[in-house]
Structure 1
Amino acid sequence: MAAADTGRMYRKEKSIQLKSSSSALYNNLSLLRLPDKQLAYFTTVHGTTVNIVSASSDGLSFSHRQLQVKEGGPAISSSIVTQMYESDGSIMVYWHALDVMEHLPARMVFARGIAAASGRFICVGMSSGPVLVFDIPPKGTNITVSEVLEEHRDAITDIAAELGQAPDGAGDVVTADDSGTLCIWSSGEEFALLSKIPALGCTCSSVKLWNGIIAAGYGNGQIRLYEAATGVLRAEVNAHARWIYALDLAPLTGKLLSGAEDSFVHIWKLSKNLDTDDVEIEHCHSECVTDTQICGARFCDPDGNSFAMTGYDLSEIFRYSQV
């Protein structure tokens, strides 16, 4: 159930300019915080270019870098390539090519959806449905594909890992696809499928996990909340008038951020009654960027006291902080 807006909670800060605009991709804004260096890295994608902006904690200093994927080479033309870089984009530490020659020429091939799980795995979704699980060593670059999860039959849209503490019996990884199917996994030496939430007739474009709750955003503008242990639906809200493109969760407070094609970003508050297991969603705040298709939105801190967003064909990142 959604409550009425409780008033203006955030104010607009200085925006971040980008070298190129953001493409219309789901969840097209990433954020990596490095508190010990007083830096935050913002990343968006434009075609085959990755825009990286490092911002100082005071928001006054910015540094830009662009990563280019070279097109036309034999590795790119015949394979999906996953590349892993140092946090500032300065050094590529690993790349992985997956042969896709078996696919029909008319079918678009891509990798989409990425999440870190259990402190040692990185999961990457594929357009044909599989999810690659990369095992990341504590030191060095001896990265390997430890497992391939083959439960989905449609293109992966997003992958999420537990942001808080997973309750006993609850999955800590969830994968979503174009049909709207969700798969809930328990990670470990081997991934185990715990539950499968069937398709709803529309795409699940973005998904997040927090304290045993799955938050899923759909193409019909709905947000649905499920139990990560059983897959049972606990709450739903008609959050947006158009397609949801991005969700994010603040792990310390349970705030949920949603952005959509309708030009709105909404902030919600999730809560769970430990006695009854009821899950509630309360609306807290809205921002509108007129005539902008929101394609990326992220909280900038674990409490959800600040957030950033960008939109299709927009060459900047808008930032907001709590009043």
Structure 2
Amino acid sequence: MSAAGRRRGRRERALLWCVLVAAWEAAWGQLRYAVPEELPKGSFVGDVAKDLGLQLPALRDRGVRILDKGRTQYFALHGKTGHLVTAERIDREQLCESMQRCVLRCEVIVEGEMEVYGIEVEITDINDNAPSFKEIELEERISELTAPGSRFPLAEAHDPDVGSNSLQRYELSGDEHFALAVQAGPGGEERPELVLAKALDREEAAFHEVVLRASDGGEPARTGTARIRVAVLDANDNAPVFGQAEYTVRVAEDVPVGSVLVTLTATDADDGMNGYMTYSSQSISVKASQMFELDSETGAITLVRSLDFEE
């Protein structure tokens, strides 16, 4: 074959490939359905046969089948009705974690006619989770010399639901010495803070107890609570101060397990036991707690599980 012929052949193959890719991409999104999570196996998702114009008697002869894009088969095609149904119960939070939109994709393959149709199924959220605290018994240690108006960060609640079903508000009850303030974090999340509303007197009361309540916006609303015990300390008039208010760390996904990613450093102007510090985390997701470990003595954060950028 001449050089011109070879070039013409390559152009024709490239054009055919572009046409196939365009046809493949055009197929995606032809059918879109939405179903709530936690439906029983075999629940109706959509009438695929009707929506694609497939005749029921010919379904079996054409070799129509469903191919899920992921590892798990979440959907099946009912041969007698042409309905797309769930192949197993779908837990939105397990599948998509905190993503606002959870979409599963599959394909309807008509083998007899070599046709492929894309299907998108959005899994909508139901209010099946209540806000919860990692620890339901918390302790704060506050000096009796602390000035009213001082603020102390509290542990955040976690709710894997999204939208109005997610965490919406905090409330505090139990003691006139304390009030609640809520600050917006860098990502828009709400961070509760304990505010000292009235001066403390250790000789009057060495301990105070308040209840922090977190509620979502479901109907009816679901709530989670944490009990906070405040220990009043004598004359420790300095709190530990970090060198910076927020630490940002960037690491490659192949950093070895056991590596120290960052060391937090705080200082305390007090002497003796009043100047002794330990480090602890008050707001951390379950997934992060399985991957990172904080040394309570040194403030070093160590990687204890391999990172995966795709996850």
**Band of TM-score, shorter chain:** under 0.3
TM-score, scaled to structure 1: 0.22
Say which structure, 1 or 2, has more relative contact order (CA 8 Å, 6+ apart): 1
TM-score, scaled to structure 2: 0.22
Bigger fraction of residues in strand: 1
